[in-house]
Structure 1
Amino acid sequence: MARPGSGLLVPMNRVGYPPQNLARVVVWEWLNEHGRWRPYSAAVCHHIENVLKGDARGSVVLGQVDAQLSPYIIDLQSMHQFRQDTGNRDGGRNPER
């Protein structure tokens, strides 16, 4: 799922195509209790992407990268974040690519 209204601004060369050396960055976000999307850190985003490459139907243990996120797991199949100690489902989503 992609967040409505999100977009990517890419500088174009004279022919109208993005330059070949432009790096792409994936940003994963979570939905807070106020209904606002908040980005994970770059390290967490990188970890999620690495796990996703290995098993797109598995899960991501966020505490492996950030100790403050140790109670959280992302189920990649449902694209939801779960808090292990309470069992609550929090917002989670696949970013626009």
Structure 2
Amino acid sequence: MVCPECGAGLALDALAGIDPALTLRSQRAASRFGLWLGTFGIHRFYLGQPVRGSLYLAFCWTLVPTVLGIVDGIRMANMSRQQFYRRCCLA
């Protein structure tokens, strides 16, 4: 059974194919971490991407991660909720 408006599964269909260990992240927190602490890759660590976070941290002295963090923060803030979970939380 599927919702005709949004296409989301209803009842037990909603749980099909979902990993029970999946933890959802806050889109607002991730975008704020990107804007405020993006230089150090905190938003990447928060999203469960430690390799990317480590690269931001390793190159924080170049200020390139600062620009990337601001861009990431703005992009995450402007994504729809479905896009955010598909791109950031499930990757």
TM-score, normalised via structure 1 length: 0.25
Q: Which structure dedicates a bigger proportion of its chain to strand?
A: 1
Structure (1 or 2) with the greater helix fraction: 2
